[in-house]
Structure 1
Amino acid sequence: MAIPYVFEDEIEHGVCKRLTPLIRRVICNNPGPFTYTGTTTFIVGNGVVAIIDPGPKNDAHLDAIISALDPSEVVSHILVTHTHSDHSPLANALEEKTGAKICGFAEIKNDRQINKSRIDTKVAIEDANFVEMEEAIQRDFNPDIPLQHQDILNGPDWTLEAIYTPGHINNHLCFLLHEEKTVFTGDHIMGWATSVIVPPDGNMADYMDSLERLLSYDIELLRPTHGPEIENPKAFIQAYITHRQKREEQILGQLAKGTTKIQDMIPVLYADTDKRLYPAAAMSVLAHLEGLVQTGKVICKDEIKLSSDFRLK
């Protein structure tokens, strides 16, 4: 099953839009190839509210979030799905403005074979005019309330459950709004594109496990931080899983043909993709290959990096 992508072209940056009785959104004016129309900040509840994914450091967006609140409203919690720079950095300024507690999964583990310093996001692939990768991490993120899987946060009219979903990055959380059976998915699942997995902070095996984990929940809607809502969530998640499984099969097929380098696989595997996005594609292929090495299907004699040679075992 192909992924049934959903798109939203007509949006207004910096304008509060009520989506449901419990959910409002404000979209930051930071559109791009990895953020789509921009970072969506969600306001959950009424009277006493939670804010999900405050976004990047952006004064105009901070003002827009504050303006979206009623004068008498109190922000009790600022929830961060993960610490990429388009999601978490505004949390501190928002905390200063509102007095709310910052909540998130702080720990980032990186004890795997891949050395971050060896990853070159501009690996030479044909003559592509590359877009810079926008996956900088806020390394100093220090939440007031560290969250773990299945932790619950409450307001007068809302209940949010943290769901640990590593993969895109290993401190990624989704948040389930029980009252509406809606999951705020951060970058774990997006409607307009697949999520980029960038080792070593991202891990494909973890990502696949996290997709399966979401399937176990009784949910009716997904709300990513970038792009529109996703209906029929379980079918969409299954399509994501199938897509990744097929990509792995394609990578194994390339190896079977004697193609040993990622930079030679990308133009074949992503023939219909904008060449500017090849660095992101290369990262995802690297993540797949890391998993295949871990499971013993593929051999890499050297350190696992974009320029390595990979072969079938």
Structure 2
Amino acid sequence: MPAPLDRARGNDHIGGMDALKDIDKPYAEAERIAPLVRRVLARNPSPFTYTGTQTYIVGDGAEVAVIDPGPAEGEHIDAILEAVGTARVIAICCTHTHRDHSPAAAPLKALTGAPIVGCAPLTLDDDGPRADAAFDPDYRPDRVLADGEAIEGQGWTLEAVSTPGHTSNHVCFALRETGAVFTGDHVMGWSTSVVSPPDGDMTDYLASLQKLYEREQDTVYFPAHGPAVEKPRQLVRGMIGHRRQRERQILRQIEVGHRTVAEMVPQMYKAVDQRLWPAAGRSVLAHLLDLERRNLVSRINEHWTLVAQT
């Protein structure tokens, strides 16, 4: 699986450890990456997190916000606190509740007194948890931000941009003063995201990509994984095109007789480590569910067929 993002098309958020070879990153150290923005990299590299989760500290004055506090690892939390220094943390912001993003929120709140704000917690429905195995069940926000709602600190304003798709509760944060957007796992600097039903939803994901594309004021994306995206609208356009290409591949697979996800994945992901095929299958399923809503395919149990178009 390719490691760096093919910015013309986008790649699925399923890599391999080959993606991490020869990468030397400063873990547990704060880096100044832009006006008002510093970054602290957690030591949790993997095929799904790339070099690790990137926590962002917003603000240069007496008040700062922490975005995506990351895993609840002592080294990482200590590095965040060291970067904050004498400033007061007034908000701990979470883009979504996967375990590489939100678990450090609670201990950071205990140490700083700052409220946890941002995405809503996932809840239980009649069928049990909507979340996948990466879900953080202990996430407890003090304040859920609605789309367009903002929080302010000394010299900065963060606006919530609702972007469901990767998860149902995903939210990005736009820094109004500079045009930067902290995109969590919705748009990343090295790949596109796995969209895993039932909580992940391809219809929502594509709509959220279109929503970001229409935000012409945004100048740069700071994702939770991978490098900054300096041509955000160009990348998002490519990501939408990539997903539409996947749709066509799936329809073609059904046409030639591959009717289940298990039959499609080996054909569509031949170059990918087979250990990662289950994750690929989740995104294929998400596409199929989207196509079903659009009356392009139908299913009986796990077998999918094309719907005749009149």
The TM-score normalised by the length of structure 1 is: 0.88
When structure 1 is superposed on structure 2, of 36-45 and 258-267 the one drifting more is 258-267
| 1:311 is the counterpart of 2:305 | yes
The one-letter code matched in structure 2 to 1:155 is G
The one-letter code matched in structure 1 to 2:297 is V
Alignment partner, residue 266 of structure 1? 265
Whether the 8 Å contact between 2:8 and 2:235 is mirrored in structure 1 is: no
In the TM superposition, what are the counterparts of 1:145-160 in structure 2 within 5 Å?
145-160=143-158
CA distance 1:267–1:4, change in 2 (3 Å): closer
| 1:227 is the counterpart of 2:226 | yes
Q: Deviations over 1:280-309 (max 9, x none)?
A: 11000010011111211111122xxxxx11
Distance in structure 1 (CA, Å) of the matches to 2:91 and 2:298: 46
Identity %: 44
| 1:213 is the counterpart of 2:211 | yes
The TM-score normalised by the length of structure 2 is: 0.88
Aligned partner (choices 179, 186, 189) of residue 187 of structure 2: 189
Q: Secondary structure of 2:242's match? A: helix
| 1:66 is the counterpart of 2:64 | no
Whether the 8 Å contact between 1:116 and 1:199 is mirrored in structure 2 is: no
Alpha-carbon shift at residue 271 of structure 1 (Å) = 1.9
Q: Deviations over 1:135-189 (max 9, x none)?
A: 5111342211111101101111111100000000000000001111011000001
Whether the 8 Å contact between 1:76 and 1:100 is mirrored in structure 2 is: yes
Q: Secondary structure of 1:310's match? A: strand
Q: Secondary structure of 2:64's match? A: strand
The one-letter code matched in structure 2 to 1:97 is L
| 1:3 is the counterpart of 2:9 | yes
Distance in structure 2 (CA, Å) of the matches to 1:275 and 1:41: 31
Q: Secondary structure of 1:50's match? A: strand
| 1:105 is the counterpart of 2:103 | no
Alignment partner, residue 166 of structure 1? 164
Alignment partner, residue 13 of structure 1? 27
Alpha-carbon shift at residue 278 of structure 1 (Å) = 1.0
Distance in structure 2 (CA, Å) of the matches to 1:118 and 1:52: 24
Distance in structure 2 (CA, Å) of the matches to 1:271 and 1:78: 41
In the TM superposition, what are the counterparts of 1:117-156 in structure 2 within 5 Å?
135-156=133-154
Whether the 8 Å contact between 1:108 and 1:201 is mirrored in structure 2 is: no
Whether the 8 Å contact between 2:149 and 2:159 is mirrored in structure 1 is: yes
Alignment partner, residue 57 of structure 1? 72
CA distance 1:107–1:58, change in 2 (3 Å): closer
The one-letter code matched in structure 2 to 1:91 is A
The one-letter code matched in structure 2 to 1:192 is W
Whether the 8 Å contact between 2:222 and 2:229 is mirrored in structure 1 is: yes
The one-letter code matched in structure 2 to 1:146 is V
Alignment partner, residue 126 of structure 1? none
Q: Secondary structure of 2:250's match? A: helix
Distance in structure 2 (CA, Å) of the matches to 1:300 and 1:140: 36
The one-letter code matched in structure 2 to 1:272 is A
Alignment partner, residue 93 of structure 2? 79
Q: Deviations over 1:250-289 (max 9, x none)?
A: 0000001111011111111112222222111100001001
Q: What are structure 1's unaligned runs of at least 5 residues?
A: 120-133, 303-307
Q: What are structure 2's unaligned runs of at least 5 residues?
A: 1-6, 12-18
Alpha-carbon shift at residue 96 of structure 1 (Å) = 0.7
Residues paired across the two proteins, number: 290
Q: Secondary structure of 2:303's match? A: coil
Whether the 8 Å contact between 1:110 and 1:201 is mirrored in structure 2 is: no
Alpha-carbon shift at residue 60 of structure 1 (Å) = 1.0
The one-letter code matched in structure 2 to 1:51 is V
Runs of 4+ aligned residues of structure 1 deviating over 6 Å after TM superposition are: 109-112, 115-119
CA distance 1:63–1:118, change in 2 (3 Å): closer
Whether the 8 Å contact between 1:53 and 1:88 is mirrored in structure 2 is: yes
| 1:25 is the counterpart of 2:39 | yes
Whether the 8 Å contact between 1:39 and 1:55 is mirrored in structure 2 is: yes
The one-letter code matched in structure 2 to 1:312 is L
